[in-house]
Amino acid sequence: MTYLDHAATTAVRPEAAEAFARELARPGNPSSLHAAGRDARRRVEESREAVAAALGAQPGEVVFTSGGTEADNLAVKGTFWSRRAADPVRTRVLVSAVEHPAVLDATDWLADHESADVVRLPVDAAGRLDLAALAAELRAHGERTALVSVMWANNEVGTVQPLPEVVAAARAAGVPVHSDAVQAVGHVPVDFAASGLDAMTVSGHKLGAPIGVGALLARRELGLVPVEHGGGQERGVRSGTLSTPAICAFAAAVGAAVAEQEAEAARLAVLRADLVRGVLAAVPGARLSGPEDPAAALPQTAHFTFDGCDADALLFGLDMAGVSASSGSACQAGVQEPSHVLLAMGRDLAQARSAVRLTLGWTSTADDVAAVLAALPGVVERARAARTR
């Protein structure tokens, strides 16, 4: 099997697996006051410090969650409720049109249930946020805006967003900024403090931790309102018993991914360049999505559309050939829908239904690229023939 769907999830790193297995053998609820509980709490707090150090945050800014979706919901809803409580006129939420469903669906819920005014900001043909549109919204309605949420890098086409400019514009208007950095950590430099962000989402299984753990980095001044209620863990904003094994594994994976980021990004960029060059040369009608300049995109993501093909047929054909790929986000319950990212970038419906995302990861090799290039031309040819029957 050739696995090129690392943006959906990647293999657990040895350091994370070792930490997870070690902690599974140790009892103790980190909220308990006895010796076993205090020992578990110590390991959780050491992990918090390690995650903070790796990502440029203070330990008190790290809120452990079950993953990226929970962290996005806490950031979006918790900030909206906090800001609106402080100033009832702050009901506007600004998001890019290419956000992950965890952000878009959370804001849609706020619109439906909390009377939020949600604005989806446009992007250009490469998927890059229209900064002029953001500036115009903030000039006209800055005093009514509760939150801006713009992802660090897009999970489908890999476009890195202009976060410094986003943060500068929002800060001038007195509006906090959240960023989903799930695809960015471990692939591009990420420093929470230096970014000027107020909140940032990280997911463990995208960078080599087990599925089911992540974090929201949030400035304490943000005053998040909890989404769920219970025992008051994690600064009182994220109740629930903490999973010591998952958190220790998460810290190990974050540390390894960040330590290797520069070298790994350079290695993956070479593989990606070979992959892009090979696909465009071997498959007529193939078109690369996202920025033409590789420096403006994630080094591990290559997203294509194929004229005259349906994504379902392409993915099935690749799977039959032993290649695991996807058409975009894996977080929509297996439902194949036209890519909202491509539609926002100006592609038509047929193109949005013909997308394949090939993403590299820490286990990827040149053999994986060669396997895809060997299989893809035949898969595309069969998919086109099937569509014309």
pLDDT at 281: 98
Question: What Å distances lie between residue 62 and 66, 153, 198, 321, 355, CA to CA?
Answer: 13, 21, 12, 42, 36
Q: Residues 234, 236, 238, 241: is their CA dihedral positive or negative?
A: positive
Enumerate the H helices of 238-365 as residue ranges. 244-259, 261-282, 311-320, 340-344, 349-352
Q: What is the pLDDT of residues 13-60, one digit of tens each?
A: 999 999 999 999 999 999 999 999 999 999 999 999 999 999 999 999
148 plus 266 within the same structural domain: no
81 plus 182 within the same structural domain: yes
Interior angle at CA 13, CA 10 and CA 16, nearest 5: 120
33 plus 18 within the same structural domain: yes
Phi-psi map region of 196: left, alpha, beta (phi>0 left; psi -120 to 50 alpha): left
Q: Which helix (H) or strand (E) holds 199?
A: strand 199-203
Predicted TM-score (pTM) of the model is 0.96
Please identify, among 259, 284, 312, the residue that sits at the C-terminal boundary of a domain. 259
139 plus 218 within the same structural domain: yes
Q: What is the pLDDT of residues 153-186, one digit of tens each?
A: 999 999 999 999 999 999 999 999 999 999 999 9
28 plus 177 within the same structural domain: yes
Inter-helix orientation angle 261-282/366-388, to 10°? 40
276 plus 162 within the same structural domain: no
For residue 177, what are the β-bridge partners?
148
Q: 217: exposed, middle or buried (C-beta count within 10 Å: 0-12, 13-18, 19+)?
A: buried
Domain that holds residue 380: 2-9+261-388
268 plus 253 within the same structural domain: no
The 10 Å CB-count burial string (b at 16+, else e) for 48-81 is bebbbebbbbeeebbbbbbbbbbbbbbbbbbbbb
CATH number (domain holding residue 348): 3.90.1150.10
61 plus 114 within the same structural domain: yes
Q: What is the pLDDT of residues 204-233, one digit of tens each?
A: 999 999 999 999 999 999 999 999 999 999
Q: How far apart are CA 133 and CA 112, in angstroms?
A: 24
Amino acid, res. 125: A
Q: Which of 193, 225, 321, 331 is catalytic?
A: 331
280 plus 327 within the same structural domain: yes
Provide the token pair at 101.
């469903």
Enumerate the H helices of 58-154 as residue ranges. 68-86, 101-114, 131-141
Please identify, among 241, 259, 277, the residue that sits at the C-terminal boundary of a domain. 259
pLDDT at 295: 95
Number of structural domains in the chain: 2
pLDDT at 333: 40
Helix/strand/coil percent split, the chain, to 5: 45, 15, 40
Please identify, among 242, 259, 276, the residue that sits at the C-terminal boundary of a domain. 259
Active site residue 331: yes
Of 183, 158, 185, nearest to 302 by C-alpha is 158
Cβ-proximal residues to 113 (8 Å cutoff; 6+ apart), any chain: none
Q: Count the neighbouring beta carbons within 10 Å of the beta carbon of residue 132.
A: 10
Of 234, 302, 255, nearest to 51 by C-alpha is 255
336 plus 303 within the same structural domain: yes
Indicate whether 195 pLDDT > 50: yes
185 plus 316 within the same structural domain: no
pLDDT at 389: 63
81 confidence band (pLDDT: 50, 70, 90)? very high
Q: How far apart are CA 37 and CA 16, in angstroms?
A: 22
CATH number (domain holding residue 209): 3.40.640.10
Q: What is the pLDDT of residues 290-341, one digit of tens each?
A: 999 999 999 999 999 999 999 999 999 999 999 999 987 655 545 567 899 9
Q: How far apart are CA 195 and CA 191, in angstroms?
A: 6
251 plus 275 within the same structural domain: no
